[in-house]
Structure 1
């Protein structure tokens, strides 16, 4: 898709931070606990000049404001507290000297967009590709990632999902330790370079989703705890301390902060949606959950002009968060990451049963079938891993496109001690079959960067904290694995890579050269061909899909049937070592066949065989 038009400009107007206008810049900080603040200001290009101090005006609601004539794009600024310490702007659009440094005024009107004709894509067309900007390329920048977009589009990807870019401490991080929610991390490039990445993606017909973290701030560089305790609610304790204040006293401004953050990325950076991290860790007892409020704000704003999607991560499997209205449109989340399907595939292909995998160990083929047909495996059943806790809500009323499914993500790979990908652990025959089941199902499939060529590089947990916190994280990482039999001795624990070491980060970068090697190229071709079949035959029939499929499992042979928006899709997959006897053929035209021998009206399935057929809508 080529988009050419007169350049346009996009700016999200918000009550926080620094707002550039023709006469100067308006600054605003909400800090009800502080009686008087001053603004430190330094003009752009005057790094040798002392900061000028300007008193700010406080109102009754705790807002500190200042209009500064003559201030402009590129100027540095911080807020000086009554004790003489200075803090960056929590709504900073850019912090080039990291999270402890000065914020910089950004005038978004200076960036010219070329995607005026872009209106997004329907969700059923999504094939998602999760990537980490720092590890996706050798350079680890927005600009370098931009150069790879055409290859992803050619593969058959229609959406990239960027792991969090909100400014984090240090030079490298997964992104889930961000503390400046509006500032793209400077290690990746400038805000303009991120906008150029999104603009280029749209020119190739690619949606771009951004991973955002609204359940906690990172442990280093979050100054809000010190000068704005109203931002947190001590009534709830989380693994990261007091919860963000979404439902306590003075929570309205806190809620506005995150609603505006969502709109900021969607309006000012033109993202096509957000992946909302771990919403089960958001403590919000409000009548309208913050996710619902964000959805409503999106529909009232950018959602009126283009298609915008909200993807949830939610360990509690709340199907109610994915409910559809009478028109079949999402009322909150468009879709949810389907960890259940991943866990079943992992057990089936690797045989591992430790930790949460134990919940899927009894019959992983049947579990995979239920996940493919119904979305969630746990829909209110007791979880042994969670000590008998009931997990999940019924999901059979939801369309298959409400589930983003995958063979692996950054989480399941990076949370391993050595960051091994599933292709380094699992049976290759079963993995090939699982990939075909995933990409030819009505679910929205997601690839983790490198999946398409079975990348051999690990994806480890990495960060770059200050010395004291770095030591605690390194020790905690090793302690986390100390209870596993494989790490019973200290020597084994010592081999676990140090998250703070630069070498850990460098080892996690994709090696694009290996894609040309025979084994990797075969995987690439297989994925590309499967996606071509998906786009040509399955995607056109997905619109209007409603409700679950049905499945059956016998002797590790899986049957799944779905009613699509138009037509019916049928899948057979065989995971046992021994081939089947005669198996009844599914109706319809053959979409895909691997490891299948036809004998009249019957089929014989070899180990790892997959057979997919499609019926048209006639006669329904």
Structure 2
């Protein structure tokens, strides 16, 4: 039998089949009692660092609370599972019960990464996602990335309102079901990444202030409340251990760190990286991705695998849709030059003043390999934070979007598709959560404030017509319509995706390690030709024209993809793309 267990510093750890050690950091308390069902309450021993410990004669399946004050019981912040939700008792688990069928899986090199971001609830939970993996592998996807799975309040949520970072939500199934899903993905050659949220907790079910006020530091304000005190070694280790728990016990192949810019101690990222390198088995590929408004190229230079490149997305969105509000507004100035810069250097903002944030943004990135930048035309944020949840494909001219889609999948940067994008889904993706009462009202108000700030949308009559984020129907309507996939248009788009990914696998991926930009030229309005020297010495050329006027350029020696079937050599028609290779000199 092959099993994996990461021994957490905190939480409930089996030390024998019928004995469990409980550990809780509760520095705000003088006394803590662990209450296990069917056992007498056990007073825990307090240690000098504010940690409480106790042992109890119970095994896997036991359910428990911590009583931190006479009138308050709380779930374990390091709970491995919450079968009755974030307000219920925690459950003791035995990680050794799952028998891994592919324990020797080592992952894949970063250069092979083609990400498919998805939401497990919309995929039909763990069981539904498992059934989908074969078609994604057959398509050419190499990596599936799940939006957060940690426990949240209610039955549906994006996942970024989680409050118990070690406990997979029961909304999707049991923990062993998640392990089975990951195990099956590995059998198909798919890596699995997890989106983790370490910068804030959700509004319902977070009890930390009741017993660990030192977890937070009010000096660090975030959009979600007081910042988490990553300068506190115990707090810092709580999240580092969590990352290792997902990587070692659940065998995820990588993590995407949400809103890294809101993590207040930059040194923490290096501590995390060091611990992972010391812990992960030799020869195993484990990848760390950042979402970071700061465009911090130093972290990428120092070993982080990649960063979501919003500059790439915003530039192309402005070109395709004319979007001009909020964060998109600065991309309306010299947009074609910005496209040239993101294709050759990754970040558009590398220390220049960024008006939406009223400060300088970014650091120089031209020395970084193109694979460090995770590129996308659509993701959960960029669709779901629009008032009507429209996908970019519905806001663009078809030929222009097809050219941009080909650019996404053939460019040496690391591409990412979003749920249903592979067949050209036009189903809206909304923000949804299962909150009620005052919290539900605050969620609705918060969305309206967000739309006012970023979309200039303040008309109360229009706001009344928008999808209600806490209505169950909003969740259901966000599930892509698979009948569209089976339609002639959907099958044609799938065939195009399959062809593009096949070309990437055969002509580009084997030569990405060591590839670098060979420069770019502006050919006209919204038209750029970019070149990269691949590891085998060949020159990859991609010319893209998202404008309305034809442009001229010199064809590469061998053209292997062209979106305009009637193109004449030496021309780049409006709303088209040409990709090709020149052999080494």
TM-score range, shorter chain: over 0.9
**What residue in structure 2 maps to residue 33 of structure 1?**
28
Residue-by-residue CA offset, 1:220-279 (whole Å, 9 max, x unaligned): 1110012111111122222222211111xxx11111101100000000000001000011
State how far apart, in whole Å, the 2-side matches of 1:549 and 1:268 are.
42
**By how many angstroms is 1:431 displaced?**
0.6
Separation of aligned partners in 2, 1:484 and 1:400: 30
Instruction: Indicate if the aligned counterparts of 1:596 and 1:609 stay in contact, CA closer than 8 A.
Output: no
Deviation at 1:578, TM superposition (A): 2.8
Secondary structure of 1:15's counterpart equals coil
Residue correspondence of structure 1 range 163-242 to structure 2 within 5 A: 163-242=147-226
Aligned counterparts of 2:154 and 2:454: Cα–Cα separation in 1: 31
State the TM-score, normalizing by the size of structure 2. Answer: 0.96
Measure, in 2, the Cα distance between the counterparts of 1:428 and 1:385.
30
Q: Report if aligned partners of 1:561, 1:571 keep a CA contact under 8 Å in 2.
A: yes
The answer on 1:310 being equivalent to 2:297 is no
Cα-to-partner distance string for 1:339-384 (whole Å, 9 max, x where unaligned): 0010011111111111111111123333222212211111112223
**Distance in 2, Cα, partners of 1:347 & 1:504:** 27
User: If the length of structure 1 is used for normalisation, what is the TM-score?
Assistant: 0.91
The structure 2 residue matched to 1:399, chosen from 362, 369, 390, is 369
1:305 Cα shift? 3.9
Give the Cα–Cα distance (whole angstroms) in 2 for the partners of residues 395 and 484 of structure 1: 27
Unmatched runs of 5 consecutive residues or more in structure 1: 1-6, 43-49, 325-329
1:20 aligns with 2:14: yes
Equivalent residue for 1:578, pick from 549, 565, 583: 549
SS of residue in 2 equivalent to 1:40: strand
Partners of 2:458 and 2:53 in 1: CA distance = 57
C-alpha displacement at 1:434, in angstroms?
0.5
Tell me if the contact between 2:320 and 2:546 (Cα under 8 Å) persists in the aligned partners: no
Cα 1:429–1:303 change in 2 (3 A) is farther
The one of 80, 83, 108 aligned to 2:95: 108
106-115 vs 378-387, which moves further: 378-387
- Name the count of aligned residue pairs: 582
Report if aligned partners of 2:326, 2:455 keep a CA contact under 8 Å in 1: no
Secondary structure class of the residue paired with 2:214: helix
Q: Is the 8 A contact 2:562 2:579 kept in 1?
A: yes
Determine the C-alpha separation between the residues in 2 that align with 1:378 and 1:572. 23
1:327 is matched with none
CA–CA distance in structure 1, aligned partners of residues 466 and 24 of structure 2: 43
Deviation at 1:117, TM superposition (A): 2.4
Other-structure match for 1:363: 334
- 1:295-444 matches, within 5 Å, as 295-302=273-280, 304-324=282-302, 330=303, 333-387=304-358, 389-444=359-414
Q: Give the aligned partner of residue 505 of structure 1.
A: 475
Q: 2: CA distance between counterparts of 1:89 and 1:58?
A: 16
The answer as to 2:540 corresponding to 1:559 is no
Is residue 52 of structure 2 the alignment partner of residue 85 of structure 1?
A: no
Look up the SS of the partner of 1:341 in the other structure: helix
Between 358-367 and 560-569, the greater mean CA deviation after superposition = 358-367
Q: 1:323 to 1:483 in 2, by over 3 A?
A: closer
Q: 5+ unaligned residues in a row in structure 2: which ranges?
A: none
Q: How big is each residue's C-alpha offset from its partner over 1:312-344, in whole Å with a ceiling of 9 and x where there is no partner?
A: 0000101111004xxxxx2xx110000001001
Give secondary structure in 2 for the equivalent of 1:457.
coil
